[in-house]
Amino acid sequence: MALRIWKDEDLTWQEAQQRLRHSVYQRLETYLPETITDVLDLGCSVGISTLTLHQYFTARQTTPINTIGLDLSPYMLAVAQKADTQQEVSQWIHGLGESTGLADNSLDLVTLQFVIHELPRQATISILREVLRILKPGGVIGIVDNNPASPVIQNLPPVLFTLMKSTEPWSDDYYTFDVEAAMQQTGFDYQATIASDPRHRTIIGIKPIT
């Protein structure tokens, strides 16, 4: 996935993946306090995003970070646990994004990395409500996903776009969904939508302090 973004550059998949993830985290850290303690990667899949997230922010502070990866697929989580050879991630949780079972007001940062284009908008709205519950006041939500305004996506041939929808059944719903408005209606203080690379956007919100 990451190599396709910079297809004209001589990158390894690891270098491309790091650039993809770091471009998101660099935007997020502008809105975070200097020190964070509790992080959730919601919809973590096989854990590439979770490990990269943990390592990025751990390298930028002296205090440890409690990082959680949560996913609905036990098979993906099994791969994630196997890949976490140094046991850097505190917990791998099998659960629903709409009902995580995590405590109220317990997290500094929640990310959804390439998740919501896979969902009907009502599921995304339910997840936003859950994230608002579990974030600490002042906590940050970061969503990275396909950018409908990207020239790369705007210029996709119709045949290719139709082919993509054969494996991405909620694409039409995603591309017509006002994520920023949904974030505000849920109760977040919407902060910014940033083109974090040529194909993707990062959407940032904060849970109000009062």
Which CATH number characterizes residue 81's domain? 3.40.50.150
Please give the torsion angle defined by the CA atoms of residues 50, 153, 140 and 25, in that order, rounded to the nearest 10 degrees. 50
Is 180 part of any domain?
yes
Q: What is the mean pLDDT of the chain?
A: 94
Q: Return the pLDDT at 50.
A: 98
Beta bridge partners of 96: 99
pLDDT per position as a tens digit, 75-99? 999 999 999 999 999 999 999 999 9
Q: What is the largest CA-CA distance in the chain?
A: 50
Structure tokens at 21: 């993830």
Is 81 part of any domain?
yes
Q: Return the pLDDT at 46.
A: 97
Q: What is the DSSP letter of 148?
A: T
Is 73 part of any domain?
yes
DSSP string, 105-134: T-EEEEEEES-GGGS-HHHHHHHHHHHHHH
108, 115 Cβ separation under 8 angstroms:
no
pLDDT per position as a tens digit, 91-135? 999 999 999 999 999 999 999 999 999 999 999 999 999 999 999
Is 9 part of any domain?
no
Structure tokens at 63: 């205090």
pTM, full prediction:
0.94
Task: Give the type of residue at 99.
Answer: S
Q: Which residue has the tokens 């990667």?
A: 41
Q: Return the pLDDT at 184.
A: 98
Indicate if the pLDDT at residue 154 is higher than 80: no
Q: Return the pLDDT at 156.
A: 73
Is 11 part of any domain?
no
Q: Return the pLDDT at 109.
A: 98
85's CB contacts (< 8 A; 6+ apart) are none
Q: Return the pLDDT at 4.
A: 86
- The domain total for the chain is 1
Beta bridge partners of 162: none
Is 21 part of any domain?
no
Is 190 part of any domain?
yes
Q: Return the pLDDT at 149.
A: 87
Is 29 part of any domain?
no
Structural domain containing residue 55: 39-206
User: Residues, the chain, total?
Assistant: 210
Rounded mean pLDDT, 33-54: 97
176, 120 Cβ separation under 8 angstroms:
no
Q: Return the pLDDT at 37.
A: 98
Q: Return the pLDDT at 204.
A: 98
- Give the three-class secondary structure for 5: helix
C-alpha 106/C-alpha 36 separation (Å) is: 11
**If pLDDT is split at 50, 70 and 90, which confidence band does 1 have?**
confident
pLDDT per position as a tens digit, 166-178? 778 888 899 999 9
